[in-house]
Amino acid sequence: MSKIKMAAPIVEIDGDEMTRVLWKIVKDDLLTPFVELNTEYYDLALTERDRTGDKITWEAAEAIRKHHVGVKCATITPNKQRAEEYKLREMWKSPNGTIRSVLDGTVFRAPILTNCIKPVVKNWRKPITIARHAYGDVYRATELRVNEPGKAELLFTGKNGFNFRETVYDFECPGVLQSMYNKDTSINSFARSCFEYALSTKQDLWFSAKDTISKQYDQTFKHLFQEIFENEYKAKFDELGITYFYTLIDDAIARVMRSQGGFIWACKNYDGDVMSDMISTAFGSLAMMTSVLVSPDGNFEYEAAHGTVTKHYYRYKEDGKMTSTNPVATIFAWSGALRKRGELDGNNELVEFANKLERVSIETIESGIMTRDLSGLCEGITPRVVDSQEFISEVAARL
Ligand code: NAP
Ligand code: MG
């Protein structure tokens, strides 16, 4: 059998701990036997980030801008304990944060469904993808604990002469204050990323906020989304037969619970933080959740939504035995990137291989073969719990 060729490369970003171990097995057993992998490799292992003064992270992000498609292994975001463990020169920033800032992108998280793991919400049949705006709002707010009576004001001093001053509250007792902001440029990028992703996955897009109460802040989000939709995307949506609509967040939640799934739900920063945890838990497991960063100008970076699974890694190192860590989200990060590469290059063989890889991974689970994390969640079959290597070999045998 001749291997599938790739005209253009994927940016391959390696990472840390257990996911790094899985990364290699997935490549060796599921990819290189079938595809002449064309990748531009960046090693973001914490030791390499430390050695290069984190330059490697910036280079990897730039490479995604150049080649438009990347796939990333989970990486350690150092904290104080990690800095000691790895004797770091500096507490390097989160690689995902760096890549997100270079690509100016939005993160989309979608669950991977199988017929033996039933969502908690029984009418959900298709995945619900959450798009979270990851800029501003309460995450960059200025706050104050007020301890005496006094007047709080909102004050704006314009560079071009516009001034604004209004009383927020005349405190007669202690209390709390918060002010937050967002920027049109960031909201526009968020909107364009959402519209691009909806087109790319052929799914409806919902956007929710609370514009009836927040008549400047949330209404700005609503208006910018509507304006961009009408000027740049309406025709393309009509052509594909998909829809965009805005609704109040309360209404959105009621509709989500009654829906069958199969759409993208765009959320403001805080809503997305909270709702994505609800959605992932209700669908089953973090180990069955994919994540893709989409930039408004059409760059895509695929990864698993989970971290480096540190606990399993230390067990693996101590016992020298393979663990039962779920590689499915890592497999789907690769299949997502390969499919996108194939779509961009008109490489049907590659697209079909990616689809098949996903199909047989799910079939493997549905046949009862699965890692430990899923065995407690599955219904209707008796699971056979295997380790990561055995699971990947079972998938390979079905390819
Ligand atoms: P984690 O790696 O997602 O793991 C948390 C727990 O979730 C694991 O201990 C395991 O539970 C379960 N789990 C996650 N993925 C699994 C899988 N594929 N198969 C089976 N079980 C899985 O989160 P963490 O322990 O909080 O973080 C570890 C490191 O990852 C940190 O250094 C953090 O900085 C980094 N991180 C990176 C990313 C990223 O690069 N995108 C994202 C998040 C965290 P049990 O132990 O109960 O089996
Ligand atoms: Mg959260």
pLDDT, tens digit, 9 for 90 and up, residues 166-202: 999 999 999 999 999 999 999 999 999 999 999 999 9
- Judge whether residue 1 has pLDDT over 80: no
Give 187 Cα–ligand 1 centroid separation in angstroms: 30
Ligand 1, CB within 6 Å, residue ranges:
74-77, 96, 286-287, 303, 306-311, 325-326, 373
pLDDT band per the 50, 70, 90 thresholds, residue 35: very high
Among all bound ligands, the one having the nearest atom to the CA of 388 is 1
Query: 307 and 238: one domain?
Result: no
Q: Which two tokens stand for residue 17?
A: 């701990």
For 109, phi then psi, to 5°, come to -115, 130
Last residue of a domain, one of 247, 268, 283: 283
Counting from 1 in the atom list of ligand 1, the atom nearest the Cα of 310 is: 28
End residue of a domain, out of 283, 302, 336: 283
Q: What is the CATH number of the domain that holds 392?
A: 3.40.718.10
State the average pLDDT for the chain. Answer: 95
pLDDT in tens, 367-383: 999 999 999 888 888 99
Residues 275 and 130 in one domain: yes
Looking at the structure, tell me whether residues 123 and 262 fall in a common domain.
yes
Residue 398: pLDDT over 80: yes
Q: What share of the chain is helix, strand, coil (3-state, %, to 5)?
A: 45, 20, 35
Instruction: Check whether residue 124 and residue 272 sit in a common domain.
Output: yes
Distances (CA, A) of 17 to 23, 74, 315: 10, 8, 11
Full residue range of the structural domain in which residue 279 is found? 118-140+183-283
| Residue that finishes a domain, picked among 248, 283, 318 | 283
Q: Which residues on adjacent β-strands are paired with residue 108?
A: 131, 292
Q: Are residues 234 and 364 in the same domain?
A: no
pLDDT tens digits, one per residue of 247-266: 999 999 999 999 999 999 99
Range scoring the smallest mean pLDDT among 14-23, 89-98, 165-174, 239-248: 89-98
Expressed in angstroms and rounded, the spacing between residue 273 Cα and the centre of ligand 2 is 4
- Domain shared by 255 and 133, yes or no: yes
Give 109-140 pLDDT, tens digit per residue.
999 999 888 899 999 999 999 999 988 888 88
Nearest Cα to Cα of residue 163 among 152, 153, 171? 153
Q: Let me know whether 132 and 264 are in one domain.
A: yes
Domain match, 279 and 290 both: no
Asked if 231 and 317 sit in the same domain, the reply is no
Find, among 357, 385, 365, the residue nearest to 113 by Cα.
365
Q: Which ligand is nearest to the CA of 16?
A: 1
> What pLDDT, on a 0 to 100 scale, did the predictor assign at position 97?
85
pTM: 0.90
How many helices (H) does the chain have, and how many strands (E)?
15, 16
Residues 132 and 275 in one domain: yes
Classify each residue of 180-189 as buried b or exposed e, where b means 16 or more C-beta atoms within 10 Å of its C-beta: eebeeebbeb
Residues 169 and 69 in one domain: no
d(CA 237, CA 74): 33
- Judgement on whether residues 172 and 267 belong to the same structural domain of the protein: no
Domain count within the chain: 3
Tell me which residue has its CA closest to atom 33 in ligand 1: 76
